[in-house]
Structure formats: C-alpha cells, structure tokens
Structure 1
Amino acid sequence: MTKIYIAKNAIGQFNTGEEVVGLVDEDRIKHLLSIGAIVEKDSEEVADEVEEVGEVVKLDKLTKAELIALLEEEGIEYNESDTKAELIALFPKE
C-alpha cells in the first residue's frame, strides 16, 4: 500500500498542506522527510503543521487594491507607484 504524504513547505506543484501524490522513489521520499519538506499523512506532525498554515491565495488573481491591503496586513512596505507585478514580488516566496 502506498503511503500518503503532506507538503510542509511548497514543493514543485504542491502547496503547503496539500497531499503530495506520485512519490515512489524511496530515496527521494527519505530525502524530503529528512529535510522536513513532507510528513506522512497519519503522523501527529501533520495536524500541527496544517493548523499553522494560513489560507493559500493566488496573488495574480487579486486586484491591486487587494494586494495593497494584504501587504499592509502583513506589515510589508511598498510604494504607491508600484505596479501589480511589483507588489506581488514583495510577498515572501514561502
């Protein structure tokens, strides 16, 4: 039976908290587990980590005003003249 893993960090196409499908290479699985990038779905660690994850938002789908509101909420400084792309670039990549 295949084990199911949850991403603790964004990995490739998988966002934090999402089920990571298609992992079959045991060496790759061991590596991702060792660096804390994934956890087994049934582990207690999953519940703790998923609770800490906020809502995942696709920034490119937001308006400039919504981006500014999020930046202000996070305490991130920006310039009024910044374009939408420049505002998106200010967000942490995590």
Structure 2
Amino acid sequence: MDENRKLRGVLTLDDIRPYLFNKEMETSQTVAQIMKAPPAVLHRENKPLDILQTFDDTGVWNLPVVSESNNFIGFISKSSILMSYRQLLKEYSD
C-alpha cells in the first residue's frame, strides 16, 4: 500500500473550529501541525463488542481503522453502529 496512507493523525471539526472563528489565531499553521493522534485505533480483526467498548472508553464518535502495518483503511462511526442497531430492533419488533 502507498506509504502516504500511513495513519499519522486525525483532524476534527473541533480541532479547526478555533481557526475558523478567531481571526487573531495563527493562520499559517498547516494541517500536519494541527492534527493529533486519535485516542484509539481499531483494526480489522477487532470484534464488534471490543469496538463498542473502545467507543465507550474513549468517548469519541469516530475512530480510524488501520491494517497490521498501520496503513489507514477508513473510519468507523459510532452513530452508524447505533443507527444499524436501531434498525435491527425495529425489524425484530415488527
């Protein structure tokens, strides 16, 4: 996989919001300078219950998924999991 796909950090709206609404803040910073390490990283091999526990432990709504060699694969969203769960409950209750 392309070396540029290695996970180095994440950038959230909360991270850039201060720069959007405060004209006095330093505006020459790059994305690389603002981004930070995620509170946790998930792997393809993680079990669903472990993923849910990681979301509970970290209190975040999105977590990156990486391969064994730390290459970025994508994100898992807690809200997507909860929406799928609600849909399943609805289907079972009908």
TM-score (norm 2): 0.29
- Name the structure where strand makes up a greater proportion of residues: 2
- Bigger helix share: 2
| TM norm structure 1 | 0.29
